[in-house]
Amino acid sequence: MWHSRWQWFRSWCESWNNGTRCYSVVTAKTESTSVQDRRSYFEQLAHEWDLRPLSQEQSEWLREFCKLACPPGTRCVLDVGCGTGLLVPYLSAVLREKEWIVELDFAMGMLKTGRQKYWQAATWVCADACALPFAPATFDSVIMFGLLPHVSDQRAALEEALRVLQAGGMLSIGHLMSSEELNAFHSQLEGPVREDRLPAAGVLASLLERCGARVLEAAEGPGSYRVRACKVG
């Protein structure tokens, strides 16, 4: 099974390879104006995204988050909504097979910034979280850090994440704010993310269960939001 997954993924990369380990995927799905507006918003922020410093406490939180997201035996990870690759060094510290870190975002500017820092540590893919360009059961772990409020259809994004997961694979969703803190923060912003909302951890857990996943953790508090589930079957 592992060999066939490896062969499929290598073939997929070769089909898109442009020598930069950065792939742009065009899907047949028509984008809504809201998706286009969000993409433009994050493209404009790409050059300053890394100027936001992390506290030591936040860095420790991310280290623990990635460790839990990649239990022993994890070899292939998809980081959906990766931005500029914030999680790459944390994931690299956990995984042995570093070439199996796949960073995916819908904003090419974010990916280009991340690739400049970590181009050898990951494969970079530009695509929509609601239409992942991968075969079923490709990944051992799928991560959505800082993503969910910004997707056009949260249930569709969760179902896509579960589709590309191996049976028993881990889906991890995290934020460095509680849902209440993050939603209040978004409401103070201008632009297309002003109305973006993160469901409470318990609400998200219920949605994951309706999608067929088994919830392992659903917890949030000041400066922390973490929901983990595994694919059943």
Domain boundaries, the chain: 2-7+34-46+57-231
Please state which of the ranges 24-28, 89-93, 110-114, 160-164 shows the lowest mean pLDDT: 24-28
3-state helix, strand, coil in the chain (%, to 5): 45, 20, 35
Distance CA 81, CA 130 (A): 11
List of E strands, the chain:
22-24, 77-80, 101-105, 123-126, 139-145, 165-175, 213-221, 224-231
Q: Which CATH number fits domain 2-7+34-46+57-231: 3.50.50.60, 3.20.140.10, 3.40.50.150, 3.30.420.40?
A: 3.40.50.150
Q: What is the pLDDT, as a whole number, of residue 25?
A: 55
Find the Cα–Cα–Cα–Cα dihedral 40, 45, 47, 51, rounded to 10°. Answer: -170
Residue 12 has pLDDT above 80, yes or no: no
